[in-house]
Structure 1
Amino acid sequence: MKMIAASAKIHPLSVIEDGAVIGENVVVGPFCYVGPKVVLHDGVELLAHAVVTGRTIVGRGCRVFSNAVIGGDPQSLHHDGAETTLTVGEKCTFREGVTVNTGTTEGGGKTVIGDNNLFLANSHVAHDCILGSHIVMSNNVMLAGHVTIEDRVILGGGSAVHQFTRIGRQAFIGGLSAVSYDVIPYGMLNGNPGLLGGLNVVGMSRSGMEKATIHQVRRAFKQIFEGEGSIRVNAAAIRDEYADSEPVMHILDFIAADSDRALSSPNRGNKG
């Protein structure tokens, strides 16, 4: 049995399967498909030919444009067919041709997307990815499985992110870059193979970060990546010095955390 709010507007040429839950003021345009285990929260809008399928929850105020497929099965040879999930936060926009997959059993069974994210045309979020909020994925960006992206990251057009890679908050990934290693918070990576060229100073400034704090982060960056020791040794050595600097601690905690990938650096990330 469908559960469709009285205020929802469903075009008669769309298919809403039994079991779907449709919230208040949802708008579904023509030729859309909504699967039987989908929840569309209040104010969601599906434009013509949009598909939402799988065990998928789409948060309040999201927009899904034409030919996007949200909640499709994972593209993984290891997926055993078990029912897995996709959860999307509020006010996300999925432009034309975007694809987002549910999780896999071996990867924890869930793909999670935060709030206020913008996915431009033909970008892809694979199985078991965990995304924060206020992220911009430009046209044709590709995330492989198990990728983690923190808040306010911008990924330039055509960039590709290797499976199990982490990208720290407010990092910037240049267009057509190949991201094979973890990218620190506030980092700026470009090229193929991707090299950490420095810090996203423009983004830091636009976010309201004070100049003095930016200078602190730049000084810490040099100590971490230009010091004599390895990246992790250098980072651990300056922890006490920057205990009162939240942005620097973001970087140091990111470096100290367990990961399946090496760390990007100006030397291709193999200094670890």
Structure 2
Amino acid sequence: MEETLADSSQVNTDSMGNHIHPSAIVSPGAQLGQGIVIGPWCMVGPNVVIEDGVRLVANVVVDGHTTLGKDSVYYPFVTIGLAPQDLKYKGEPTRCVIGSRTIVREQVTIHRGTEIGSGITYIGSDCLVMVNAHIAHDCHLGDRVIIVNNVVLGGHVHIDDDARIMGSAAIHQFVRIGRAALVGGVTGVESDVIPYGSVVGNRARLVGMHWVWLKRNGVKNTELHILRNVYRTLFPRDELSNNVFEDRLLIVKEKFGQNDRVQEIIKFIEQPSRRGLVKIGRSIASSEGEE
């Protein structure tokens, strides 16, 4: 248990095999599973559920109606489930849930939901949230999402499975990030990013598809070719194109709509949105996957 800073000679072990440092404050109302490590100076509130194998390394604060999934790990100075930064919040018993095997690094803040939102802040399984990131109230992150250092997510942000948010990016409230999308570093995202899309810029602009992820996850060349045609149809480089977006979307449906990933992109585009889609920007080779 390398992440545990406690001296093993000082740690208390209970009947469930949980190792709790004597300086930690664990409320009697907290529900603890088995094989949990709670390091020095941690605080666990009365409505917290900690499932089997969770590790709180040191100086971690968990409060509210919060559930920490199996084998997840939390590093020093993380705070989870505290009240949201929303002036309309009046202490309602909203929730925060984190999935199994997710790793949350130093100084991350994750706030619980609000009653006027979904009522829950949710982070899926096998995610990695790196140093000094902030995840606001009512955010929803899917599985295997990576949030890099200093990223900030406004309230109600929805990020689908396998997305990558690079360092110091800022995501506006109510934005949707599609599955396996890539948000570049120091990018401000004010609108929705399509599944497998890649955005960069001071104000995010769509510059291609996330080809690296697609290739690493075994997508065949024939399907890559389909996705490239879909992208170029929906977002033509010719800024003088007279076709309206709805017409281009209809072409994609007719020509490529049988492909599962294309169906996913179409469904994402047709879902109601408060922010609209990120607009196309100048293409770069690394995002286009040009060879």
Confirm or deny a common fold (TM above 0.5): yes
Describe the SS at the equivalent of 2:267: helix
Instruction: Choose which of 121, 128, 131 in structure 1 pairs with 2:131.
Output: 121
Aligned CA-pair RMSD? 1.4
Instruction: Choose which of 256, 266, 282 in structure 2 pairs with 1:252.
Output: 266
Say whether the 8 Å CA contact 1:80–1:105 is kept in structure 2.
Answer: no
Provide the residue aligned with 1:96 in structure 2.
106
Sequence identity of aligned pairs in percent?
37
Instruction: Choose which of 159, 166, 187 in structure 1 pairs with 2:176.
Output: 166
CA distance, structure 2, for counterparts of residue 188 and residue 267 of structure 1: 10
Q: Which runs of 5+ in 1 are unaligned?
A: none
Say whether the 8 Å CA contact 2:207–2:281 is kept in structure 1.
Answer: no
CA distance, structure 2, for counterparts of residue 32 and residue 45 of structure 1: 11
2:50 counterpart letter in structure 1 = L
1:106 counterpart letter in structure 2 = I
Instruction: Choose which of 173, 179, 197 in structure 1 pairs with 2:207.
Output: 197
1:257 counterpart letter in structure 2 = Q
Say whether the 8 Å CA contact 1:108–1:128 is kept in structure 2.
Answer: yes
Alpha-carbon deviation of 1:39? 0.4
1:156 counterpart letter in structure 2 = M
Residue by residue over 1:204-245, the C-alpha shift from the partner in whole angstroms, topping out at 9 and shown as x without a partner, is: 101111111111011001111126433344223321322321
2:57 counterpart of 1:47: yes
Provide the residue aligned with 1:86 in structure 2.
96
Say whether the 8 Å CA contact 1:232–1:255 is kept in structure 2.
Answer: no
Instruction: Choose which of 12, 17, 27 in structure 2 pairs with 1:7.
Output: 17
Describe the SS at the equivalent of 2:67: strand
Q: Kindly tell me: are residues 94 and 82 of structure 1, through their superposed partners in 2, closer, same or farther at Cα, counting changes over 3 Å?
A: same
TM-score (norm 1): 0.94
Alpha-carbon deviation of 1:74? 0.6
CA distance, structure 2, for counterparts of residue 124 and residue 233 of structure 1: 39
CA distance, structure 2, for counterparts of residue 45 and residue 133 of structure 1: 19
Provide the residue aligned with 2:250 in structure 1.
236
CA distance, structure 2, for counterparts of residue 35 and residue 230 of structure 1: 54
Provide the residue aligned with 1:76 in structure 2.
86
Map residues 146-157 of structure 1 onto 2, 5 A cutoff: 146-157=156-167
Q: Kindly tell me: are residues 5 and 260 of structure 1, through their superposed partners in 2, closer, same or farther at Cα, counting changes over 3 Å?
A: farther
CA distance, structure 2, for counterparts of residue 259 and residue 112 of structure 1: 20
Equivalenced residue count is 265
The structure having more radius of gyration, on CA atoms, is: 2
2:140 counterpart of 1:130: yes
CA distance, structure 1, for counterparts of residue 206 and residue 63 of structure 2: 38
Q: Which moved more, 1:151-160 or 1:203-212?
A: 203-212
CA distance, structure 1, for counterparts of residue 232 and residue 43 of structure 2: 52
Q: Which runs of 5+ in 2 are unaligned?
A: 1-13, 283-291
Alpha-carbon deviation of 1:91? 0.5
Say whether the 8 Å CA contact 1:157–1:176 is kept in structure 2.
Answer: yes
1:72 counterpart letter in structure 2 = L
2:192 counterpart letter in structure 1 = D
TM-score (norm 2): 0.88
Provide the residue aligned with 1:26 in structure 2.
36
Residue by residue over 1:132-157, the C-alpha shift from the partner in whole angstroms, topping out at 9 and shown as x without a partner, is: 01010000000000000000001110
CA distance, structure 1, for counterparts of residue 67 and residue 181 of structure 2: 27
1:249 counterpart letter in structure 2 = Q
Describe the SS at the equivalent of 1:240: helix
CA distance, structure 1, for counterparts of residue 270 and residue 156 of structure 2: 19
Say whether the 8 Å CA contact 1:5–1:23 is kept in structure 2.
Answer: no
CA distance, structure 2, for counterparts of residue 133 and residue 232 of structure 1: 31
Q: Kindly tell me: are residues 218 and 29 of structure 1, through their superposed partners in 2, closer, same or farther at Cα, counting changes over 3 Å?
A: same
CA distance, structure 1, for counterparts of residue 163 and residue 218 of structure 2: 15
CA distance, structure 2, for counterparts of residue 125 and residue 260 of structure 1: 19
Alpha-carbon deviation of 1:162? 0.2
Instruction: Choose which of 254, 263, 268 in structure 1 pairs with 2:277.
Output: 263
Q: Which moved more, 1:75-84 or 1:121-130?
A: 75-84
CA distance, structure 1, for counterparts of residue 123 and residue 232 of structure 2: 33
Provide the residue aligned with 2:27 in structure 1.
17
Alpha-carbon deviation of 1:84? 0.4
